[in-house]
Chains A and B, each alone.
Chain A
Amino acid sequence: MSNAPSSSNRNVKWAVETFRPLLKSLRLQYLPELPVVVKAKDFRNLIIKGMGRCVIGVQRQEITDGQDGYCTFIHDKKRDIFFISIVINERFFADDSLKARTERKALGIHEFVHCVAIMMSVSSLGSGPNPLIERLKEILREQLSVTTSADFTQLLNALGAIQGNMTPAAPLCNDKHFRTEFEDFPDDYAELYLSFLFSFNLLLEEIDKHDKNSFKESIKNEDTDGITVFLNEVIDGLVTDKALDRNLVIQRLCGFLPQLILYLNHN
């Protein structure tokens, strides 16, 4: 069953609206010991879009090579079920501090974007002979054939040294990193990742918790101090309540400012 819209409708906004309910149900910040399993068939909207045979599992696990996390795509050929398994390194669950939750969220959403890419590919292909599965298997076989443990250990040591100082936890990867090349999604996956983390709507939700009239006044009067005080309150709220990296919030907020001012002029 595939009733997907044409590619022109499939942009970041569409993807955020389509997959946000699924993302929320995974509760990536607070994973229990046992795998969390969410079935796409419980979301009518996803069934309609031809993704009803996807099952997503998220679990925490010690990862041998010290990687932060990974995403595995599994096809049960007999039952024609597509499993997407997201694994987050157990070390991110050492405590529930804001820092740990922020890292878990950034990493979990990174892996979730892989999950979205797979689901959109499944949606585009529908039933019958599946070139996606065969091509991905071929890539995996090629990757396996060039794997050497010694080189990898060296690489990980270098990566670990860099990651120690990196914020946010998950590296910001480009569109190509997420793309399967079988999906009907012309928009940019890197932007989708950032939108899942911190969208304009999330900013508006936070703004509504504060005295937005004083902010509007400050803008009107070009009161820099007033604007700064208000934005700092909003930034603190986002960092604390939404477990977002401060640098990321500031960077995105600066990008949203023209849109925000336009919005406030009309609301």
Chain B
Amino acid sequence: MDKTELQAKLDELGIVSISAAGELSSGLVNDAIASTEKLLGTLDLDSLAEEINSAEKACSLL
């Protein structure tokens, strides 16, 4: 992927920042994209949002 494609992929996934000890390379950005896809792929995002909303609501009712 060239830089324009990388940027488009970062925007699509909602990646806001990547913190690493060294400089940010295109290889590391590709790794960050892959690990983000893997992480988000393990989750049901709609259910997760409902769980969070319920927990916040329950907490505010206490």
* Residue positions of A touching B, CB distance < 8 A: 1, 34-35, 37, 39, 41-42, 44, 47-48, 52-53, 55, 57, 59, 61, 63-65, 67-77, 79-81, 83, 85, 87, 110-111, 114, 118, 133, 136-137, 139-141, 143-145, 147, 149, 151-152, 155-156, 159, 170-171, 173
Q: Which of A42, A67, A80, A151 has the most C-beta atoms of chain B within 10 angstroms of its own C-beta? A: A67
Q: Chain A contacts of B59 at CB under 8 A?
A: 1, 44, 47-48, 52
Convert B10-53 into 0s and 1s, putting 1 for each residue whose CB lies closer than 8 angstroms to a CB of A. Answer: 10011111111111111111111011101110110110110110
Q: Chain A contacts of B18 at CB under 8 A?
A: 70-73, 140, 143
B56, A74: Cβ atoms closer than 8 Å: no
Q: Which of A1, A44, A65, A141 has the most C-beta atoms of chain B within 10 angstroms of its own C-beta? A: A65
B31, A41: Cβ atoms closer than 8 Å: no
Tell me the bound Cα distance from A111 to B19 in angstroms.
Answer: 8
Known: A52-B59, A55-B48. A63 touches B15 (CB 8 A): no
Interface of B, helix, strand, loop or mixed by DSSP: helix
Known: A69-B20, A74-B36. A81 touches B7 (CB 8 A): no
Q: Which of B35, B43, B45 has the most C-beta atoms of chain A within 10 angstroms of its own C-beta? A: B35
Tell me the bound Cα distance from A202 to B43 in angstroms.
Answer: 35
* B side interface size, CB within 8 A: 42
Q: Which residue of A lies closest to B55 (CB)?
A: A41
A81, B45: Cβ atoms closer than 8 Å: yes
Q: Which residue of B lies closest to A170 (CB)?
A: B21
Q: Which 9 A-B pairs have the closest CB atoms?
A: A64-B27, A41-B55, A79-B49, A70-B20, A152-B25, A57-B39, A136-B17, A47-B59, A73-B17
Q: Chain B contacts of A37 at CB under 8 A?
A: 39, 42-43
Q: Which residue of A lies closest to B42 (CB)?
A: A35
